[in-house]
Structure 1
Amino acid sequence: MNWDVIEGKWKQLKGDAKVQWGKLTDDDLDRAEGNRDKLIGVVQERYGIEKDQAEREVDEFYNKHSA
């Protein structure tokens, strides 16, 4: 699975993203549109974390949902 698949299934995966990142709003998730870079930015912004930490978290999310 690649990020194109995540983007295509984003409506279904938004609930899982809300579970993983409880601070994200529906607007945040809509803005991310399942795009990796946008999601990293939203997570980084909401949680006030460094970009590399946000990238690790988003990649973990991807790996969890690509199995």
Structure 2
Amino acid sequence: MTEARGTVIEVRPKLLYRVRLESGAVVTAGLGPTLRHRIARLVVGDGVLVSVSERDPHRGQIVEKA
């Protein structure tokens, strides 16, 4: 998995978020396992670190809130 920084642009149901990466790509990302317990909620405009799947470059996991 590749990690990239981005910004939350949309909050979706079931703890999913649309994130615009610094490269300009937009991915749908869920919270990683460690963040589910530490972060109550992300809002539009929050900076995040996303681990992007190599199999599906449109999906990823948020691994850190910046």
Common fold: TM-score over 0.5? no
With CA pairs under 8 Å and 6+ residues apart, which has the higher RCO, 1 or 2?
Answer: 2
Tell me the TM-score normalised to structure 1 length: 0.28
- Output the TM-score relative to the length of structure 2: 0.29
Higher strand share: 2
